[in-house]
Amino acid sequence: MIQIDPVKQAEELAQIFFSLSNSASNFRLDNYNALSQAQQQQLKDQARALTMRGQQCTADALGAILQDIQPHLPGIKQATQDAQDALARLNDVVKGLAIVDAAVALAGSIMTGDMASIGGNVQGLFDAVSPAKKP
């Protein structure tokens, strides 16, 4: 039986609609002088509609991801708040870069729906924020 990943499908559909929107806009611009005002407006409106459909697919993908990350949400909220608090008071550039790197890794795993790495990336952000342990 084929396994269907609704997040991946929504992301693919979003990309399809964004590409179609860009193609419609490019067609309108490439043929600007040959199109009537009404045709130009029609193509502009239709490109916007395709973009909106792509955004809806992106929102649907995020909705599916949010359903899956519910068990991690308290940790995500705490780790990101701790990171914000640390960055607001931190004067250590190396530590600040490590926190931001860990936050980007966490955001990436969330936005791609990589459930296997979210827990580890939450812990990675907590570790980046925590004070250095003395030997």
Q: Quote the pTM value.
A: 0.65
Neighbouring residues of 47: CB distance < 8 A, sequence distance ≥ 6: 21, 22, 24, 25, 28
pLDDT tens for each residue of the chain, 135 residues long: 777 777 788 888 999 999 999 999 999 999 999 999 999 999 999 999 999 999 998 888 888 888 889 999 999 999 999 999 999 998 899 999 999 999 999 999 998 888 899 999 999 999 999 985 444
In sign, the C-alpha dihedral spanning 118, 121, 125, 130 is positive
pLDDT, residue 134, reads 42
Neighbours of 128 (CB within 10 A): 22
Show me where the domains of the chain are located: 6-68, 71-129
